[in-house]
Amino acid sequence: MTDLAKHPQLSPSAYVVLGMILLGRRSGYEIKQTVEMSIRFFWTISPAQIYPSLQMLEHGGLIRGKNDPRGRLPRKSFTVTRAGKSAFEQWLLAAEELPFELRDVGLLKLFFADLAGADQAVKLLETIGNRSEARIVQLQVIRRAADSIATDEGYSFPLATLRLGIAYHKAIVEECGIIRRELTARIRQTGRR
């Protein structure tokens, strides 16, 4: 428990692992699966991060693991300790800045679109809009899974994050359309002159 002092600040990804176990995911494999069908649109985490995180959290006394093989298939089941639960809640309720990072090559190219032709810029806007439309479809598929998690397990906030994701991409689709129409109108005007 005093090991906590050695881990004054876990990374957000470590809290994801901890939180997923609190939500009932037992193994690294299950955590990875749940991440893929829930938070992957605003947080990714690979097996090469999950397994060392599990070791680190166990070392720090926040989780406890025991071998739980399926037949001859090795498997480790984890549960969260009291210290782990309180560490997670502390993180969840902490009044810290909430880091928000976006890396979007689409917007990057759009920023430089003056260096390309106007027709190329229109294409870019279409690509960006289409990308968000495809994302909306993906999110709506996941939404079904979130619905069943809400009814089966009683967790309703995964649904809220999905709704925010969908709202976000709908706004992008709409604004891309507006900008594209303005641009094509301007192209037509310039062309006629």
Partner DNA sequence: GAAAACATGTAAGTAGTTACATGATTCG
Partner DNA sequence: CGAATCATGTAACTACTTACATGTTTTC
Q: How far apart are CA 180 and CA 39, in angstroms?
A: 31
Answer for which of 6, 70, 144, 188 binds DNA (CB under 7 A) is 70
* Residue 48 in the binding site for a second copy (CB under 8 A): no
Binding to DNA by residue 127, rule CB under 7 A? Answer: no
Binding segment toward DNA, per CB under 7 A, in 65-73, 90-98, 105-113, 143-151: 65-73
* Binding residue for DNA, selected from 5, 6, 66, 71, defined by CB under 7 A: 71
Task: Name the one range near DNA by CB under 7 A: 68-76, 126-134, 144-152, 180-188.
Answer: 68-76
Q: Can residue 120 be called a binding residue for DNA (CB under 7 A)?
A: no
Residue with tokens 């994701």: 165
CA 165, chain centre distance (Å): 10
156 is a site residue for a second copy (CB under 8 A): yes
Check binding of 23 to DNA (CB under 7 A): no
Q: Which is nearer to a second copy, 54 or 110 (CB)?
A: 110
Q: Is 175 in the site for a second copy (CB under 8 A)?
A: yes
Residue 72 CA to residue 166 CA, distance in Å, equals 42
Can you say whether the dihedral through the CA atoms of 20, 21, 22, 25 is positive or negative? positive
DSSP 122-187: HHHHHHHHHHHHHHHHHHHHHHHHHHHHHHHH---HHHHHHHHHHHHHHHHHHHHHHHHHHHHHHH
Whether the CB-CB separation of 173 and 136 falls below 8 Å is answered with yes
Among 48, 72, 115, 190, binds a second copy (CB under 8 A): 115
What is d(CA 166, CA 42) in angstroms, rounded to the nearest whole number?
Answer: 12
Binding residues for DNA, rule: CB under 7 A, are 11-13, 27-30, 33, 44-49, 51-52, 54-55, 70-76, 103
